[in-house]
Structure 1
Amino acid sequence: TTEELFKLYEFFFFGLTLVDITPAQGEISVGESRFFLCEVIGGAKEIDWFAPTGEKIELGRLDVSVIRNDETSSTLTIYNAKVDNAGTYKCVASSGDREAEATVNLKIYQKITFTNVPSPQEFTEGDNAIIVCDVISSPPPTVLWKYKGAKIQFEKDVRFRTLNNNHLQIRGIRKTDGGVYTCEGRIKARGEVDFRSIKVVVNVLPTIRIRQVETNGTADMGFSTLLACDADGFPEPMVTWAWNNVPLESGEKYNFNEDGSEMTILEVTKLDEGDYTCIAKNKAGESEQELSLKVFVKPKITYLESQTTTEMDEQVTLTCEATGDPTPTITWSFGTRVFTEGEQNPDGDVLVRSDARVSSLTLKYAQYTDAGEYLCTARNAIGEMAQPVYLEVRYAPKILGSITVYTWEGNPANISCEVLAHPSNVSITWLRDGVQLPNANISNIKIYNTPSASYLEVNPESQSDFGNYNCTASNEIGTESKEFIVIPADVPSAPSITQVQPYSSTAQVLFEEPESTGGVPVLKYRAEWRAVGRGKWVQRVYEVQDGLSSVTVAGLKPETDYEVKMSAINGKGEGDGSQSVVFKTEHVREPSPPILEGTLQPKGNSLKVKWTKQDDGGSPITHYLVKYKAVNSDWKPEIRLPNVSEYVMLIGLEWDTEYDVFVVAENQQGKSKPGTLTFRTSSEPAATTDSMEDGTGLNTGVIVGILILVCVLLLLIVDATCCFLNKCGILMCICGKPGQGTKGKDIETGKAAFVQDVSKEPIVEVRTEEEATANHDAEGHPEPNETTPLTEPEQVTETATAVVDLPLSVPTNSDTVTHTTDLSQSSPVSESTTLTSSITAPPSDSPNPIHTTPPNSSTPKSHTKPSSSSPPSSDPANVTLLVDLGDSPEPQTEVPPVVPSEEPVPVPPPSPFSADQSAAINSKITENELESPESHATLNPISPQGIVPGTGAEPNALTQTNATESKA
């Protein structure tokens, strides 16, 4: 350049020093570093640098460094340049009196720099937010604002504007204004641009929503109460609770859920009542709402005191106090009587007054009947509480008991003087005609005393013993007397026969009680009947039971006219008989249907079906037919049972199934209508633990049974050894008894059996209507009893297992039954509906009677010679099987007749009655009384499925013993 050429000229022509700075100029940004090299041509003694201010730059500075490289150069270094470092720097070279210099112009500019751009910046919703972005540069930058990457259009939303300091203002900032904002700086001259992203968070002040402003709780009942408030805001607020400005914390009394919005107050009491504060707090601030807890209290009786008064005192008051919220109402009750507010009757004897939590019950002129337990009951909407209080009334004795007593001469009667008194220490005396009883002149009167009564026993010996007797009772309160009258009793009047319902062999007699009982209860009724105009009266006495209404007379002949009359009997004696009523029995017909009664057995799928025999239609019942089925299924095979059968067991039935059972009675005239029974078996029980275990194991019961069986077998082996070797032991004692062989023979002789191969068929058990019993002494003699004949000893024989055709007039109804008579049926239910009876007529002579041996006398000991009056019954025409297997699907084996045992008949001992007693008894026995056979039969045939034995006999065997026994 021209300047360089000038310097060269000076250097060559004038000999001056030449100075040059490299680079010749510089431009850097603030913070950058730059060095400049000053070179001197020809060398120089000193080379110095001068700052733009003209000051010499000294060696050792850190920000501006000067280093002498060699004799011809020096370096100026500027570190971390600042704006103040800009200007013209000068390098001066001197050598003696000569010097030269060179200059360099340094320019320093500011890049775009963000000095204060915090992120995130948080604001509260609704505030005037200012988003800070401080940026500097040289020249000053132009600042632009963007939201979510798009330039903000200030003209479209006046809430946004840029301040003079380039900050962004948002007036009334909203939750939706939150997000990422961009602050961007630009320098047009240099094309420089830079930006910063700012996250703006808008916090929302919490808002609280109370679920229930007022909550109700119940105190002192262990209940808990829940208070809840839902808080919204950003960020999610934290909820806390306070009560009376005291913060509440989780513990034994209070529980909180995870976010604290629900508080549970445990075991609420009345003290927990009040206002609770729900507080929600976040960065935006806090909010609070109040909700109240109202605690209700169940009533509680706080005061109640028993009282004591004397009968007919002016008044006594019972007081009851109770607390509770709401305030309880108090009521009084005495037994079933409830007292209301105010006076309870026109006389004003009982008065109830209530005031707030107090109620009083006032009784004026209390009587002994007012004594006892009174109940105070406090009630409100929460519940109630009742507590008893006792009123004690002291009163003079009150004498109770019937005034009139009926009796007769020679019959003691008790006069009851029952006393009520308080205090109960009462003195009781008896008087007659002013004379205290008993005394030395009276021997037929006795007195028995108890704490609450005195009983005077009078045994009238003459008419003078009837009349008035006085009972006087005293205690510390007072005295009371009462007159009792002993009146002679009379026999009852005659009952009135209202209707007779005849059947073929029985008749039901309905009657009304006597109009007069004679002053004492009727104990028995006597019914007498006979064929019209002929024969002696047959009579039967019936014991009175509850609900007396009718009796049944039996042993009648079909299509025969009879007359019947009745009389009543009390302790005094027997009254007059009623007028005779004539009736005619019906013709011979089929039996009436039996009455069935079912009892479900404990196992649950077994049933005992028992039947009560009804009218036999004038012809003996030959057998019963039983059949059953599950509902909506086919009938099982019909079972034929003997006429002495009384029940049948059905086992192995299906669980939880409804069954129908029919039982039909059949005689020679035909079959009755079926007696029906419907029942349902139990649900199948759950399997036991043992049954659920491995099948190879044995349960405890099986193990115990095996052990017992082993022990029994060991004992039998030892006993048998002792019997054969030492002639001792139980077997020796049994085998050594006389008559034992005869007993075994009896068993074999009295048994008829048959065997049939019917697979898996259950067994039938039947029982007679009246199981005969007999008593024997140690020698085998029968004990006389109320049924022992008083004339000739009874001849007892054993017969074959057979059904013998009986005459049409033989009675078959039992003497005692418990069913109610329904006149709409074809026959009476039984001979007596509400009575028990005893026959007093002699046995009638009937052909072909069935002689019955009592069950316990089948093998009596021999003490008399064998009787020859009972030849074996071996006529096959008179022997039939008890079970007719003709209805069975399988063929049956015919049973041969069995010859009865020739067991000797025991001779009864002499009559225990004297001749006069026997004559008196026999005089009361009439010749037309019917025999009441008693029999016992055990049937164990193979039968259709579901029929189970009722006895312990072996299956597939038929055993029966028929016998008869006369009753006196």
Structure 2
Amino acid sequence: MDFAYIIFVALLVLPICAGQEDDVTPFEVMIRPPLEEDYLDLGESKTYTCGASATSDQVTLKWFINDQEITATSGRVRVEALGNSRYMLRIGSGEDNDGGVYRCEGTLAGQTDSKTINVVVIKPLEIHSDQEQFDILGGEGEVECEVSGKPAPTVTWKFENNTKIEAGEKYTIALNKLIIKDLSLEDTKKYLCDIIVIDTGETKDFYIDFTVVKLPTIALPPTIHPDNPKVGDEVKITCQATGVPPPTYQFKKGDVMVTDEMVNNGVLTINPLKTTDQATYTCIATNKGGFAESSNTLDVKVPPTIEDMEETYDAVSGQELTITCTAKGDPEPSVIWKKDGPQSASTDGIVNKGPTYEKVGSNQNDMEEKTVAQHMTFKPVTYQDAGTYICTAFSLVGSANKTVKLTVQYKPNFDTDFKEREFFGWRGHKANLTCQANANPVATIEWYMPDAENPDDYSKAVRIPNEAPYTINMLQKWDGSFLSSRSLHVDIGDETSHYKDFLCEATNVQGMTWQVVTLKEAKPPGSPVISMGNVLTSSITVNIEPPAENNGQPVTEYTYLYYPDGDAAQTNNGQTARTGDKTKLELTGLTSNTPYVVKVKAKNNVGEGEEATVTIPTLKVSKPFRLTIKSPQMSENADSYLLEWEQPDDGGSPIKHFSISYRQVKVKGTDEPGTWKIDGDIDLDPKLKVVPNPSALSTRLDDLDANAFYEIRLWATNEEGDSELTQVLIKTSAGAEGEEEKGEEKVAQGSGKEEGDNEKIEAGQGPNANGSTSAVSEDGAGIGPVGDHSGRLAVNLAALLAPLAMACLLAL
């Protein structure tokens, strides 16, 4: 139940409860919300409820708009009975004509009462004028501010600083307009259209950018640079105009507009200049007030050009040939012929008939091109005349060249880059015999079998049919070449009779030529040449060279086996691909001080050949094995690099120390380390660091430059000598120096401290007398095997002194 209605009834009942004894209660109606005036926005929906002071079936309620009853119970504007003497008015999606005085009238037992509410429809402010406006210098200007709304707005004209503009000699204020008389450039400014709706208090500031325009003028015709333009030049046609605001430029070629891409700030650029660009060009300078035009004529000079000719002329020895070169230009060009390359005696056959001229056009204003031709005649053509000839046309404004190629038909020959005359096959193989001929016209090729009784009499040769065991490919030709080739495939199977001579016949209109091609039997290769390479305690490197005779097929790989001498039960075998003229085979995991038998066979497409054998003993002790670096090539630090390597193989002799050589270098490549290559030196003399701890697995290189490349070489040393060098390129980071903590260096059997570069190795820091290696923990206590008590004491003493030495260094 409506709360307002309850209050209304309570107010009627209270006097009775208070003991008042009025017999008649006055009848009233009320509108909720209780407003005398309400605003309705366009599109907004609202309801107004009319209620009576008494609840009775006899109460009659009605709604009126401007004294006309509203009876509709459906639609956008309708009434709806709510019961309990209430009657609702609904206005949906408010429209402009919904405004007016709405009245609710009620009747009960002869009593009548009514209430009204004035509904005002609000239409938002709408501005219909542009913010940017202009008018012409010296005339009368109009600044427009057309605005609509409901209730109707008022307009006040002001300057940008909010000073009101008063009507007078300079300004006239009309409906939605400010008229400015005798416009000058000083009238270009912002004007404020101050809009106010008095009934609602709504206000809006509308600033108008008003420009006084000075029409464009062009004082001089467009200029053309260079003064005598020729085809191929870059030409600029420049137009200069004045106006406010500054004008923009366009150009017309004749009556056709030039594309804007060719025009920049009044300059038309034509690049490259063509003969079709010759025309009258009109400059159009435009601003918002209007435009101006001015014209000039572009006269194009034409360097010589040569008309298209056949690129290739075919001739046969003995025939007469004339080739004509026709050129045109302005001014008239001269034309000459010349053979490219060394001259031969046959060029005396060129008869110069002298130039033949043919002028075209009326030659008015010297704007027409002139045409001239010259003939080159061969009497007769010889084979040596074949070659390239150059026609040159030249004048004061340039020159032009064209080349033609003269080819001469000739009998086929086999003088080509393809020199193969012997081919190889083997059992079960399909041999490929190829014949390549050189001829003009291109030769056709056929395959023949020599006559068994008269092999040298090619006229008795038998043409080979395209059937088993023979397959003959289609003739192959190459564009732009006089070469042709054709292949004969022979399916050998188990036959040996196919290994013999075959005949290749090349034919064209100029004649025929024969070529003998031999098919030979290919066999497995001979034995390879093997020799001893680098030998260590547990590895052997074997150098393998291909056999002197491959028997018709190249060696593709090698098979091998090896075992301790006298113990073939421990045979290992494998295969490796051939790598050039010398293949390295590395055998690892061997027993020291033991002779090994190594057997190697070469293999080609036919099969394996004879084996070669060599016996190579491993060493009892050797130099250390080549170290493997495992630290990344990109350093985390800008001024240092932690170099780490894997546990080394000492070759049976304890490592004495590690050595590192490093220098800054120039590097080319991408950001990927795999692409880095040294491209020059920065440090000519590398720095050397010696790590005396034989158990070390890392060391830090300090005092490096940020964002720099370094070449690092690492090797280990024992009593037998130095290991092979391990080389790596690294790069320091670009970060700030000193940001990273320098970690302790790793050792083979725990954590230890490196004593320093190039220092003498003290007792207990290297191998002990019995060959075992001492190690220390972080607190200095021995944790690994030791040789004697003096070694352990030295290790402990070094561990105790290390913190003291570090404190002294920090104090310095």
Q: Which band: TM-score by shorter chain?
A: 0.3 to 0.5
Q: TM-score under structure 1 normalisation? A: 0.32
Higher strand share: 2
Q: TM-score under structure 2 normalisation? A: 0.37
Higher relative contact order (CA 8 A, sep 6+): 1
Rg (Cα) greater in structure = 1
